[in-house]
Amino acid sequence: MYVVINADDLGLHPAVQRAVDELGRRGVLTSASLLVNGPLAEQAARTTSVALGVHLNILRGRPVLPAGRLGTLVDTAGNFLGDYWRLARRAAAGRLDLRQVEDEWEAQLRRALDLGVQPDHLDSEKHIHCWPALMPIVCRLARRYNIAWVRRTVERGWPIGSAGGLLRVLLLRWWAGRHRPADAVRWPDAVWGIACQGRRLSARRLGAYLRRLESAQVVEVVCHPGDPRADDPPLPDAYGRMRVARQWRAEYETLAGGGWREVLQEAGASLVSYRDVP
């Protein structure tokens, strides 16, 4: 079994950058997903402590393409909507132009390449790429840019965590049942870290999860560590209300606290990045 421990939101905030750099140096974190429209994207693209993928985004901040080309994705100020359910309602009403989604996501991939990043995986803000209408788009882009891995967010078994986490797990699992395999694109067999977030993201719980898996070859741990400081700037207003900052410190401390390699060794798992998976 191969396990990838991946931090989302690299490029969003200095707290995330510090956590990724430190946990990468410690050998706990192996991978991170770059938010190319984040305020620190250029600095984050120079990260060498972990392998990098791209965190595709049509939810927060300003798009890479001119807002005038993305009328169904942005508000009157030219920002993404910043609210998951507002975007979901727009999609459910058939008012989301999928061509615009593909154009913007391709522009984000091109920006990552321009910044010197060779992505080894794709995922997205709030797992929006897992919406059944959008997964074919991200797989098509992965093929186009020779990116082997796309996160398919399936947490297996009966998850233990918050009620909100349980709901997310079940909804993502239902959507995954409607995904169809794509040539030359691989999905991890399972993920972990959707129901168990914050203090619940622990080595002990990961070990229990891995022991329950049968025939899983590749598992991704999804995490959001951050190392905030008192003089850090606030999150940009254009990103809307974000709860992720509540997870930063807890997940950074639990990842830095040790025990992860021992748990993986007991499970017979190797800690790798996506580019290291045979």
Percent of the chain with pLDDT over 70: 97
Distance CA 89, CA 94 (A): 9
> Looking at per-residue confidence, does 241 or 125 come out higher?
125
Range of the domain at 80: 2-276
CATH of the domain at 30: 3.20.20.370
pLDDT on residue 162: 62
- Active-site residue (options: 8, 9, 21, 120): 8
Average pLDDT over residues 75-93: 95
pLDDT on residue 143: 97
Number of folded domains in the chain?
Answer: 1
Percent of the chain with pLDDT over 90: 81
Verify whether residue 8 is a known catalytic residue. Answer: yes
Reduced 3-state DSSP string for the chain: CEEEEEEEEECCCHHHHHHHHHHHHHCCCCEEEECCCCCCHHHHCCCCCCEEEEEECCCCCCCCCCHHHCCCCECCCCCECCCHHHHHHHHHCCCCCHHHHHHHHHHHHHHHHHCCCCCCEEEEHHHHHHCCCCHHHHHHHHHHCCCCEECCCCCCCCCCCCHHHHHHHHHHHHHHCCCCCCCCCECCCEEECCCCCHHHCCHHHHHHHHHHCCCCCEEEEEECCCCCCCCCCCCCHHHCCCCCHHHHHHHHHHHHCCCHHHHHHHCCCEECCHHHCC
pLDDT on residue 238: 85
pLDDT on residue 22: 97
Q: Is the pLDDT of residue 163 over 70?
A: no
